[in-house]
Amino acid sequence: MLAFRACLGQFATGVTVVTCSGADGHPCGITVNSFSSVSLEPPLVLWNIAKSSNSLRDFLNTKDFAIHILTDDQMELALQFAKSDHTLFENIEFRKSDADVPILPGCLAVFECSTHQVHDAGDHHIIVGHVDRFSWDRAGPLLFFSGHYRQMGEPTD
């Protein structure tokens, strides 16, 4: 299991924070690197949530969520939303979208989604989102590789 995890970690990814509003309206967020694009038409993306996550019920019970792709100067956000803590949004700047989803400022890209499908997959659920709105900015991405946060190097092509 540890070896499998280490082997999976050889796939370099970006880093996202996925947010939603919980049943009582409290903001929820979780650091996620399982984000992937799925379809252009209709516009679909996916991410996976562990069945053991404290945020599982909030994300399964909501229709709306937002995926934030982090810049290389947002590592503190990645560290914050990887904690198991219900005071995650303390001292974090955000606004609420029309769908009542917490939106974090200063991100590389934001996908505002509504849940399209949820698939049961081992110890995770795969959440497929329909992208209702998106925006992006120019900045370097925060990367995750082999258990470490990193910044992107120079282009090689």
Q: For binding to ligand FMN (CB under 6 A), which residues are involved?
A: 15, 30-34, 47-50, 53-55, 82, 84, 144
CB of 79 to ligand FMN, least distance (A): 8
> Which residue, 35 or 101, is less far from ligand FMN as judged by CB?
35
3-state secondary structure of 60: helix
> Which residue, 98 or 120, is less far from ligand FMN as judged by CB?
120
CB of 12 to ligand FMN, least distance (A): 11
> Which residue, 41 or 90, is less far from ligand FMN as judged by CB?
90
Single out the residue of 51, 47, 74 nearest to residue 122, CA to CA. 51
What is the separation, in whole angstroms, between the first and last Cα of the chain? 36
Eight-class DSSP state of 73: T
CB of 41 to ligand FMN, least distance (A): 25
Structure tokens at 90: 């303390």
Question: Alpha-carbon distance 112 to 139, whole Å?
Answer: 20
